[in-house]
Structure 1
Amino acid sequence: MYVVSRLRQGACITRPILHSHSFSRLAQQHKPFVSKLYSTNQSPPSAKVPPSSSKKSHLLKVVIGSVIVGTGYALYERSKAAKAPPIGNPQTSPEDFLLKEEVPELKVARRFVNPSDQTGLKLTLFQYQPCPFCCKTRALLDYYGLSYDVIEVNSVTRTQVKWSDYKKVPILVAETPSGQKMKLTDSTMIISAMASFLTDKSQSLLEVVSCFPRINYRDHDGKEKMDVMNKYFLMYKDAPTHRTKEDIVNERKWRRWVDDELVHKLSPNVYRTPSEALQAFYWFEEMGDWKEHFATWERYLVIYFGALVMWIIGKRLKSRHHLKDDVRTSLYDDCNHWAKQVKKRGGRFMGGDKPNLADLGVYGVLSAIEGCDAFTDLMKYSDIRPWFEATKEAIQSHEGQYLLQGR
């Protein structure tokens, strides 16, 4: 955004020095010449600044002044934010996690019903079809064979989540057989809570959810942010006997890797060029049945405006997360690293013979780009295909539904 004159090296120039009385005597001797040179009709020559140069100089001063003022204001705001007092978070009780908003009746985009689901839960997932965090959540629900409804959210207008104080997706609204309603937010928290609930049958869903309080805090710049405590942890009343500590810690490590590393490789690859971005959004339209759920103007707004915005964001994310010039290489490297680590574990999955939550997380975020050029290239040029297809089969056949028995 963002004249110098120079003497030749070794040269020496000398000039005679005329004192004022010498110049006066010279003027008397050469009066006609001097009079002609400085006549009453002519003023001594002066350095005049061309109008264009004057305007440029003024404009430059304005720009510099604006930059100084803007920088000063930004530093002031940052300093003020950094000095802001810490945010207090009151102690929570289970009742604080009950849904307080009134959820309006909305058109259900898709409904998944599993006769083997004995939980009695009525689950409604508010999602945006291509969102990797929503795909991660769906991977969990499908693997365990839970019944749930899907409300497709317009990513631009967000009309379907106006009822909620929390506007990001996914949002999972859970209603228990006793009529208790809870709103679960943050895909990682949703996965941990539902997995804990299904694994430890001695706990109610409300008891589990209350272990994941939302907190507000200030980052190092003083900006207020929100997060969920314990979101990578599974909540058991007693130590699980079917898993080792090493297995649990390893699963948690790779779940963090999905959120901190892998997911950031997607957007720069899917939206690498304007044409790829547009192709991706047309695919999302088809997969999300947008023609059925959105008005024509909403659909085109999401497709064209969304493609433009995500192409720009993809460029920024490439720089922010230090991806290679060929962003495909960064995606291949991460997926090859994952496939290598799975192989080291000695089974088909990171969880061994069955997918664990890390497997579901990696599959979920990668399934978000299925159908895009980036996904086609990934399956062709990396080593992840055998694992991906095995995990997809396990999810689609609801291999984890045995946990629904007796719930």
Structure 2
Amino acid sequence: MLSFRLLTALSATRSYSLNSQNLRFVEFTIARRNFSNALKEVKSGSSTKKSPNGTFKLTLLGACIGAVAGSTYTLYTRICDKNSHKEHERTPPKVIEYFPADVRITKRFINPNDTSGLDIVLFQYQTCPFCCKVRAYLDYMGISYSVVEVDAVLRQDIRWSDVKKVPMVLIRQQDGKYVQMTDSSAIISLVASSLHDKRMDVGELAQFYPQISYFDDDGKKRQDILNKYFLMYQDRTPKNMTREIEENERKWRTWADNHLVHLISPNCYQTFDEALETFEWFALAGEWDIHFPKWERDLMVYCGATAMWVIAKILKRRHQLTDDVRSHMYDALNKWTADLKKQNTKFMGGKKPGLADLSVFGVLSSMEGCQTFKDCLQNTNIGKWFYDVKELVQQNRGKLHRERIVGVPALAQ
């Protein structure tokens, strides 16, 4: 009713006559008075209107809380990542003033024939495929390096780092500071570039491998290392290195990272029993009984097996693998051996293993003690190539020196 009177008053203001100026004034005055009275009634009526019911109040309260929470979260994320909207941002490798004081060196591989001049500390999980890649390269090249075996659950030895993943290396620069690298392929490319041309300090070469941001197809911001499959030859490209060889090497290194490695978890952790068996082998290969207390060793085995059993199922769906996950692994290894046969060389790098060989070997060596690898030896032709590479890697590896054994004082080792 109030709305009707308000509309009537508004209509009256528009319906004044044009026959007489006085008539217009009187009609306008009456209309204005009616409009004013209607407005007063609307205001007085709103004060006597019944209060909203409980459901409406609850809805309104929820909307307010949601709005406040959403605004707070947006503000928080913007404060934490002021550059979240930016693309192609470059972040150079981090340089650390001093070697972290609380880091516990587990062991060292010392090669008396090492002329690289590099002081490298590798933070790793023994059976991580990406860590195995880095070790395979360092061992094959005969480089001395130190190892920090990180607890995969507690990760105490990388508590000092902003980046909580392995492999990670600290490489000493000429000024005594340490450059930090975290991507396996970038680490290999950096060390290979340094071995090829020692005119530049390793810290300077590391600037060619910055972290870059980009947005994926789903609109999510991602991070990757620029140039990680490229070696910085500068003006000293090896005579036997052609563009075709470089491109082929980069193709297979990328394949190892983006395809082959993603087949390991769905294969090695199909069931909980297989996952537990795999982690028991990890404990043996990583010498967890030697380097960690029993409670910590058991924590890594049982928590790790449970977590990877769950993750394997997620990865299986993500990479669109069928229930017969072994067939995908067989297909990948057959693809590798078929290309080797087509190339008609012992290794993908020719007479000697190249970076592609060492990358694929490193990934496969991470599951060498698992049932998956045994099945691969029986159902593919990967064995001959794999053990040929392994023999050369072991021949060139430095001598093992243990630095930390649980329950044994350092001086007594």
TM-score by length of structure 2 reads: 0.73
Aligned position for 2:308: 310
Aligned position for 1:300: 298
| Alignment partners' CA distance in 2, 1:202 and 1:120 | 12
Question: How large is the RMSD of aligned CA atoms in angstroms?
Answer: 2.6
Counterparts of 1:251-266 in structure 2, within 5 Å, are 251-266=249-264
* Residue of structure 2 aligned with 1:247, choices 245, 248, 252: 245
| Alignment partners' CA distance in 2, 1:260 and 1:367 | 17
The question of 1:196 aligning with 2:193 is answered: yes
Amino acid at match of 2:227: N
Amino acid at match of 1:86: K
| Alignment partners' CA distance in 1, 2:315 and 2:140 | 31
Amino acid at match of 2:264: L
Aligned position for 1:174: 171
Cα deviations by residue, 1:292-335 (Å, 9 ceiling, x for unpaired): 22222221111111101101111111121122321111111100
Q: How far did 1:116 drift?
A: 0.5
Q: How far did 1:159 drift?
A: 0.8
Cα deviations by residue, 1:172-215 (Å, 9 ceiling, x for unpaired): 11114552321111001001111111122333212221110112
Cα deviations by residue, 1:35-94 (Å, 9 ceiling, x for unpaired): xxxxxxxxxxxxxxxxxxxxxxxxxxxxxxxxxx9xxx9xx99xx99x9632573685xx
Aligned position for 1:345: 343
* Residue of structure 2 aligned with 1:280, choices 253, 278, 299: 278
| Alignment partners' CA distance in 1, 2:197 and 2:380 | 37
Amino acid at match of 1:188: S
The question of 1:271 aligning with 2:278 is answered: no
Aligned position for 1:53: none
* Residue of structure 1 aligned with 2:156, choices 142, 145, 159: 159
* Residue of structure 2 aligned with 1:112, choices 94, 101, 109: 109
| Alignment partners' CA distance in 1, 2:264 and 2:141 | 26
* Residue of structure 1 aligned with 2:324, choices 320, 323, 326: 326
- Matched position secondary structure for 2:347: coil
Q: How far did 1:97 drift?
A: 4.4
Amino acid at match of 2:297: R
Aligned position for 1:291: 289
Aligned position for 1:17: none
Contact 2:174 2:201 in 1 (8 A): no
| Alignment partners' CA distance in 2, 1:110 and 1:380 | 34
Q: How far did 1:343 drift?
A: 1.4
Contact 2:168 2:182 in 1 (8 A): yes
- CA 1:335–1:376 in 2, change beyond 3 Å: closer, same or farther? same
* Higher mean displacement: 137-146 or 296-305: 296-305
Aligned position for 1:16: none
Amino acid at match of 1:372: C
| Alignment partners' CA distance in 1, 2:330 and 2:89 | 42
Aligned position for 1:85: 85
* Higher mean displacement: 203-212 or 372-381: 203-212
Contact 2:266 2:316 in 1 (8 A): yes
- CA 1:87–1:243 in 2, change beyond 3 Å: closer, same or farther? closer
Q: How far did 1:101 drift?
A: 6.3
Aligned position for 1:128: 125
| Alignment partners' CA distance in 1, 2:98 and 2:130 | 23
Aligned position for 1:375: 373
May I ask how many residue pairs the two structures share in their alignment? 322
Q: Can you give the 5+ residue segments of structure 1 that lack an aligned partner in the other structure?
A: 1-68, 401-407
- Matched position secondary structure for 2:121: strand
Q: Can you give the 5+ residue segments of structure 2 that lack an aligned partner in the other structure?
A: 1-65, 399-413
TM-score by length of structure 1 reads: 0.74
Contact 1:86 1:218 in 2 (8 A): no
* Residue of structure 2 aligned with 1:143, choices 131, 136, 140: 140
| Alignment partners' CA distance in 2, 1:201 and 1:123 | 16
- Matched position secondary structure for 1:191: helix
- Matched position secondary structure for 1:150: strand
- Matched position secondary structure for 1:397: helix
- CA 1:367–1:91 in 2, change beyond 3 Å: closer, same or farther? closer
Q: How far did 1:231 drift?
A: 0.6
* Higher mean displacement: 200-209 or 319-328: 200-209
Q: How far did 1:134 drift?
A: 0.3
